[in-house]
Amino acid sequence: MTRPLSSGENPREESDVLEYQQLFIGGEWVDPAGKATIDVISPHSEELVGRTPEGTTADMDRAVAAARATFDDGSWSLAPPADRIAIVSKFAEIYAARMMELADVITTEMGSPISFSQLAQTPAPWLMLNSFIGVASEFPWEEKRAGTLAPEVLVRHEAVGVVAAIVPWNVPQFVTMAKLAPALLSGCSIVIKPAPETPLDALFVCALLEEAGVPKGVVSVVPAGREVGEHLVRHPGVDKVAFTGSTAAGRKIAAICGEQLKRVSLELGGKSAAIILDDADLGATVEGLKFASLMNNGQACVAQTRILASKKRYDEVVDALSTMVGGLKVGDPADATTEIGPLVAERQQERVEKYIALGQEEGARVVVGGNGRPEGLEKGWYVRPTVFAGVDNSMRIAREEIFGPVIAVIPYDDERDAVRIANDSEYGLAGSVWTADMGKGMDIARRVRAGTFGVNQYTMDFIAPFGGYKASGIGREFGREGLEEYLELKSIVAPPGA
C-alpha cells in the first residue's frame, strides 16, 4: 500500500500494515486518550492491513471542544466566503493529486473492486467537492430585501455551528465529502466519526486538509464505534448531526436530536426498484443494471435490488439477468478485472447468506448463485452473486435491505401495478425505469416516490439534491440544497446604509 502524507510520527507503515498511532483532533495529530486500537482486516485475505487508535468519549469531548472554540471565535465561521472557498479549492487540488492512492486504501480496507474505487470511491467525491465549490461561489450569502415594515432587511446565511458527521463504511469518502465540503464552505467546524471498518481513508485525508491550510480546530477525525458515536450525537457542544447509515441507527439518532432540538440530516437505507417496461432493450437494460444493482458488491444504499418485470417478459428478463450475474468475475478487489469483491466483514457475509436461505424458505427460486463459496476462493468474505425469481413483494427479501449482490425479480401485471409495487416499500431512496418510450419513462419517474430516479440509467448528479423519501431519510445532500443543510438564516433589520 502506498504511504500517505505523514505528519510527525503519523502514520507509520511497517510491512503491509498501515498504522496510525494518533488521532486528528482540532487540526493536530494527538495521542488518543485510551489504549484501544481498531484493527482493519482485509475482507479478501482476512489479514491485518491497518491499525488506528479507537476513539473514546474523552477524545470526542476534546474534538468537540476544539470545534466549538474555533467556531465561536469566528475566525473561520465569520470569514468572508471567498477566503474559505480559496482554502477548499486548494484542498480540492491536493485531493486530486492523491485520490488514486486513496482509492487503493479504500479497496484495501473494505474490499470494493478497484475499478469501482477508481471511479466512485474517490474521483466522485472530488467531483462533488468541485461542484460544492461552484455552488458556494454563486451562493447569495447575504441578500438585501425591500421590507414591508422596515425599509430594508438583510437576510444572511450563516454557518449552523459545530457539525457531527457520522459515516458508514460502504462509500466512506463519498459520504464524508457530502458533509465535509458543505460544512467547510459554510464556515462550520466538523467532527467526523468514520466507521470502525474504514478509519484509514478518513485519517489519510487529514494530512491533505493540513496541507491545504484548513485552520486548526475546524476539522477533527475520530474513528470509533457506535457508543462513542452516540456520545458525539448527544454532545451539548454539537449543533447539527449529519448521519449516513442504517435506518435503525437513523431512527435512534433522530430521536436524540428531536429531544435536544438539534438540526439533523439523515441519509438512510433503501430497497429501490428498477422497472423494466415491455418495450425496453433488454441487452442495454441488463448492462445498466450491472452497475445500478450490483455496484460496490451490492453494498450501496441506492442499489436497485428489486427488478420489476412484466408477466409477459418475465422469463426473458430472468434469463438475461441470470446470464449477466452468472458471468460476473468474482475475486480479489485489487485486480482491475474483478467485478464483484468480498463483503466488508464476516458478519456481513453471514447476514447476506441468511437472506439467501430466507428467500428460499419464503418460496423464491435461486436461478443463479445461492449459498456457498464462489469457486476458487477459499478465504475472504465472499458470497455468490445471486438472482432470485418467483419473488413476491411481500417477502422479506423484497422488503429488507440485504446489502450484498442479491437481486429479486418481481412480476407485475401492467405499468400501474409496477408503480404500485415500486412504491410499496418502507423506503424511497432511488429507482429507475427502462423503456424505449421517453414519455412513459418520465411519467413513471414522476409517479415513483423516491429522492432520485433514472430513465434508462441510474446515476445521481452532484448539482442536484440527493436523499430519501419515507424511511430513507430526512434532508438532502449535494447542490444548493446540500449546502443549505449547513446554514441557518438570520434576518437583520437596520437603518438603510448601516
User: What phi, psi does 332 have (nearest 5°)?
Assistant: -50, 120
Report yes or no: 291 and 281 within 8 Å, Cβ to Cβ. no
301 a catalytic residue: yes
Residue 331 CA to residue 448 CA, distance in Å, equals 36
- Of residues 55, 298, 333, 473, which one binds ligand NAD by CB under 6 A? 473
**Piece of the chain touching ligand NAD by CB under 6 A; list 76-84, 162-170, 331-339, 439-447:** 162-170
Q: How far is the CB of 366 from ligand NAD (least distance, A)?
A: 23
**Piece of the chain touching ligand NAD by CB under 6 A; list 66-74, 160-168, 367-375, 414-422:** 160-168
Interaction between residue 192 and ligand NAD (CB under 6 A):
no
Interaction between residue 245 and ligand NAD (CB under 6 A):
yes
**Piece of the chain touching ligand NAD by CB under 6 A; list 139-147, 268-276, 375-383, 484-492:** 268-276
**Piece of the chain touching ligand NAD by CB under 6 A; list 82-90, 199-207, 224-232, 288-296:** 224-232
Residue 45 CA to residue 333 CA, distance in Å, equals 10
- Of residues 85, 103, 171, 356, which one binds ligand NAD by CB under 6 A? 171
- Of residues 59, 109, 230, 339, which one binds ligand NAD by CB under 6 A? 230
- Of residues 60, 64, 88, 166, which one binds ligand NAD by CB under 6 A? 166
Interaction between residue 246 and ligand NAD (CB under 6 A):
yes
Sheet of strand 12-14: strand arrangement:
12-14, 17-19, 48-53, 37-41
**Piece of the chain touching ligand NAD by CB under 6 A; list 30-38, 266-274, 334-342, 371-379:** 266-274
Interaction between residue 301 and ligand NAD (CB under 6 A):
yes
Closer CB to ligand NAD, residue 143 or residue 227? Answer: 227
Interaction between residue 225 and ligand NAD (CB under 6 A):
yes
Closer CB to ligand NAD, residue 128 or residue 309? Answer: 128
Q: Point out the catalytic residue in the list 197, 230, 301, 415.
A: 301
Q: How do beta strands 406-412 and 304-310 pair?
A: parallel
Interaction between residue 339 and ligand NAD (CB under 6 A):
no
Residue 472 CA to residue 453 CA, distance in Å, equals 14
Q: How far is the CB of 314 from ligand NAD (least distance, A)?
A: 28
In sequence order, what are the residues at sequence separation of 6 or more whose Cβ sits closer than 8 angstroms to the Cβ of residue 375?
Answer: none
206 a catalytic residue: no
**Contact residues for ligand NAD, defined by CB under 6 A:** 166-171, 175, 193, 195, 225-226, 229-230, 233, 244-246, 249, 252-253, 267-270, 301, 401, 403, 429, 468, 473
Catalytic residues: 267, 301
